[in-house]
Amino acid sequence: MSAIPSLPLPPNALQGLRVIEMGQLIAGPFAAKTLGDFGADVVKIEAPDGGDPLRQWRLTLDGTSVWWQVSSRNKRSIALDLRSVEGQDIARRLVAEADVLVENFRPGTLEGWGMGWDALSALNPGLVMLRISGYGQTGPYRDLPGFGAIGEAMGGLRYLTGEPGRVPVRVGVSIGDTLAALHGTIGVLAALYHRRVHGGTGQVIDVALHEAVFNVMESLVPEYSAFGAVREPAGSALPGIAPSNAYRCSDGHVLVAGNGDSIFRRLMEAIGRPDLGTAPDLAHNPGRVARVAEIDAAIEQWTRSRTVDEALEVLARARVPAGKVYTAKDICEDPHYRARDMIVTQRTRDGRDLEVPGVVPKLSATPGTLRSAAPHLGEDTDRVLAEIGLSAAQIAQLRSRGIVA
């Protein structure tokens, strides 16, 4: 079991980078968390009256969401009322000394507080500003409220998720928010590279939730453009690529991706159907697509008489990509996850040991690390404000008025 190391850590790739995080819940905080995992100093601004709502989402331990422990690791928390004039002034001072600002408010919110791009870039010409919103900072929908689920629907993903003829289902996690966060992180790193290597100034990264989803929709639009084809939901199958599906075993399901030409031949040999493996019209994908129902039936006839583990053992020997459908229990008990430090132990601020996901991706020379647990609300307010020159008396006066906590 891996834990946060107590020995001196190797340098992180983003060590020395200062990130200010505004906003709450999923997309913006996930982007900032990713930067923090690789060494950035992330200062999270939260409202004094309760902080980020994610602190209370889903299952809680000692009164705090265990999801929060992942989303806000490697961050410092200051409790600051951004709706107050004094809070906005402090926020501007923080941004003036930062490299990156991450925000996911509705477009126009920061402008209403005097902290739009024009104002902040005048204070800090090198600032990189990541803005994540439902529909982007421009366009006819910019002012509409947008959550990740709506972005998944508008981006085309939700329509394809589920069984034909049934109500579309969600993926099961907030994939729209996470995709937007990862696209935003890519944008931040590209902007930082431009600023440093090409002598550029800062810039805005404008990420819309639906566009991040749309960007991973593969051939959806070209197929419609060329053929008028509207891709339809297909359950666990991958239409146009065969065989690739989930097949029933005696105790569960196994996923099999036998769509490579040589893989298909090995798969058919392994399940006792060499006649299909050597059929001339099934040698390549187009022919297999035409007979996919027959191929799927042959595979499932074989898998139904075996357990998942038995099927996987045979398919592994045949070098056919296959896998079981993992639950959280399967993940936590899998030795491969452990070997690659993807399940690590983190001690919360309340002294509890909690297993959490490790850092992705793996860097050989400057790996990401879990340096600190998710903070209590306002835990770092005094220290961060002192770093920008506020005295203890000034901080106490602001606290007495509820502007900081």
| Sheet containing strand 75-79, strands side by side | 75-79, 41-46, 18-21, 100-103, 128-133, 203-208
Secondary structure of residue 120 in the 3-state scheme: helix
Using only the alpha carbons of the chain, give its radius of gyration. 25
Q: Exactly one of 41, 52, 81, 177 is catalytic; which is it? A: 177
CB atoms within 10 A of CB 401: 10
State the Cα angle at 107 between 104 and 112, rounded to 5°. Answer: 105
Active site residue 177: yes
Pairing relation of β-strands 203-208 and 244-249? unpaired
Q: Three-state DSSP class for 115? A: coil
- Separation of alpha carbons 7 and 371, rounded Å: 11
Q: Measured between alpha carbons, how far is 129 from 94 in angstroms, rounded to an integer?
A: 13
Q: Which residues of 101-138 are buried (b: 16+ CB within 10 A; e: fewer)?
A: bbbbbbbebbeebebbbeebbeebebbbbbbbbbbbbe
- Which residues form the catalytic set? 177
